[in-house]
Amino acid sequence: MLPVSPLTSPLHERHAAAGAKFADFGGWSMPIEYAGGGVLAEHTSVREGVGLFDVSHLGTATVRGPGAAAYVNACLTNDLGKIGPGQAQYTLCCVADGQPDAGGVVDDLIVYLHGPDDVLLVPNAANAADVLARLAADAPAGVTVTDRHTEVAVLALQGPRSAEVLAAVGLPGGLDYMSFAETPGTGGDEVTVCRTGYTGEHGYELLVAADRAGRLWDALLAAGAPEQIRPCGLGARDTLRTEMGYPLHGHELARDITPNQARSGWAVGWQKEAFWGREALQAEKAAGPARRLWGLQAPGRGIPRPGMAVLDGDGARIGEVTSGTFSPTLRTGIALALLDTTSGVAEGSEVSVDVRGRPQPVVVRRPPFVESHVR
């Protein structure tokens, strides 16, 4: 059987021309970093100025029909009743009760609420098909789930100078956090602008028709030239999100990792009458999870990496690193790790990470590692 070629963003040729290095993300070939700076420079541009990401590998789907929002609310964890049209919400799709790994996370995603009968979902690339299949399987009569993954491109404009760049191309920047607006952009193309992001900085995510994405990308880079904008790859996106302690599905969230364990219980509408995995999650919350997500910061030169064991002072294994990287902001190694709740670790505890058979001292911290500027 011939290998399946990865999907490419509608901006792929632009990335290649800019000297991007590519890697597979959920079946999509996406830029990791660009020539002329790399991850460190791209990370710094977002923290200090402005960076532009192509995140078109993220899924997009509509759920439409009578009571569509109520149906989605009965499936996903967060409470859509807390927001109104024109607002977005972070939520989780969990494994339903009665299934193996009930309460585990199938995916984390953003819901855009247009109205009671119209919802837009933005799941992760690798999990989009699974999330949509689950929603379609239980959809009531008249409610339709439509995959628009290849029809819509998603750009992320992030950093303290992002509002200035957005204004320069005629798009609205004065939005409240997690709110969105649909407006004509460059050349009259309709763009959905949302005050969201995955970096911890003031920023926006822009949804545009895939065949119009190139024009918007070019316009943002041209308008951002006075702000020294940089195109940024998913390598910098990962270092930025790790500094904030934001979870990545497959690392801090998974079918065998629940919201309670990942400190994502804030994205669960505990008072709702129904959502997938409700009984399992409530039981775990009442009993207390067996493990919980913590941050680790290395005072030395070592960099914790995913899969490395975390050890207590006696050398006993108490958990595992889920994400680890060099922090360009702090200039040291940082990590996220799931640690046994019976280990007694707390903020400031000193433990170690097994780095190729050698214990590397680390200090337990509660993320974020750097200050957030998203609100």
The reported pLDDT for the residue numbered 2 is 42
pLDDT digits (tens, 9 = 90+) for 15-27: 999 999 999 998 9
- 117 C-beta neighbours (distance < 10 Å), count: 16
pTM exceeds 0.85, yes or no? yes
Which tokens hold the place of 171?
């798009």
The number of CA neighbours under 13 Å toward the Cβ of 256 is 3
Which tokens hold the place of 117?
């009968």
Those residues with Cβ within 8 angstroms of residue 307's Cβ, 6 or more apart along the chain or in another chain: 320, 321
Class of the CATH domain delimited by 290-365: mainly beta
The reported pLDDT for the residue numbered 189 is 79
The reported pLDDT for the residue numbered 301 is 81
> How do the domains of the chain map onto residue ranges?
7-56+151-244, 61-145, 290-365
Looking at the predicted structure, is the pLDDT value of residue 4 above 70?
A: no
Q: Which residues are bridge partners to 30 per DSSP?
A: 23
CATH-assigned architecture of domain 7-56+151-244 = 2-Layer Sandwich (3.30)
Mean residue pLDDT of the chain comes to 96
Looking at residues 201-207, what average pLDDT do you find? Answer: 98
Residue 184 preceded by cis peptide, ω within 30: no
Task: Report in angstroms the alpha-carbon separations of 132 from 44, 55, 75, 103, 294.
Answer: 36, 19, 11, 18, 31
CA distance 40 to 260: 33
Looking at residues 123-133, what average pLDDT do you find? Answer: 96
CATH label, 61-145, candidates 3.40.50.10490, 3.40.50.1820, 3.30.70.260, 3.30.70.1400: 3.30.70.1400
Q: Using 50, 70 and 90 to split pLDDT, how confident is the model at 210?
A: very high
CA distance 210 to 153: 5
pLDDT digits (tens, 9 = 90+) for 316-355: 999 999 999 999 999 999 999 999 999 999 999 999 999 8
Taking Cα atoms as reference points, which of 44, 42, 60 lies closest to residue 52?
Answer: 42
The reported pLDDT for the residue numbered 375 is 74
The reported pLDDT for the residue numbered 1 is 41
